[in-house]
């Protein structure tokens, strides 16, 4: 299947700092990438839909100024958690759909963020 690479796989940061997470589609072009958040023993919660070359669409309740998403190319989307706080500690996962728009979604490995 298609490969989506997410980096870093884990990160620890101090409260108040910003953290950038990268999501790359390695062997296909992705016009659309999704960012999810997952708390322990809970399902994936969609945070935002990222379309190449345009502003991301955020789900209700997700602060767009706190979770900055950039989808600058067909193979790369980034999520920046700004001024992170301990309650932002979570598992963040990206997924990508190929440029055809009608295939299944492939997931990155996830990033475990811990804010101390």
Partner 1 sequence: QKEVEQDPGPLSVPEGAIVSLNCTYSNSAFQYFMWYRQYSRKGPELLMYTYSSGNKEDGRFTAQVDKSSKYISLFIRDSQPSDSATYLCAMKGSYDKVIFGPGTSLSVIP
Which parts of this chain interact with partner 1 (CB under 8 A)? 1, 6, 32, 34, 36, 41-44, 46, 49, 91, 93, 95, 97, 101-110, 112
Structure tokens at 38: 């997952």
Q: Which is nearer to partner 1, 75 or 95 (CB)?
A: 95
Q: Which is nearer to partner 1, 1 or 61 (CB)?
A: 1
Q: Which is nearer to partner 1, 87 or 104 (CB)?
A: 104
């Amino acid at each position: 299947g298609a490969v989506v690479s997410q980096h870093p796989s884990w990160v620890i940061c101090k409260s108040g700092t910003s953290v950038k997470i990268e999501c790359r589609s390695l062997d296909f072009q992705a016009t659309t990438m999704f960012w999810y958040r997952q708390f322990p023993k809970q399902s994936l919660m969609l945070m935002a839909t990222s379309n190449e070359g345009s502003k991301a669409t955020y789900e209700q309740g997700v602060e767009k100024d706190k979770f900055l998403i950039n989808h600058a190319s067909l193979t790369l989307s980034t999520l920046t958690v700004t001024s992170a706080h301990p309650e932002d500690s979570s598992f963040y996962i990206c997924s990508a759909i190929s440029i055809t728009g009608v295939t299944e979604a492939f997931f990155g490995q996830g990033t475990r963020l811990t804010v101390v």
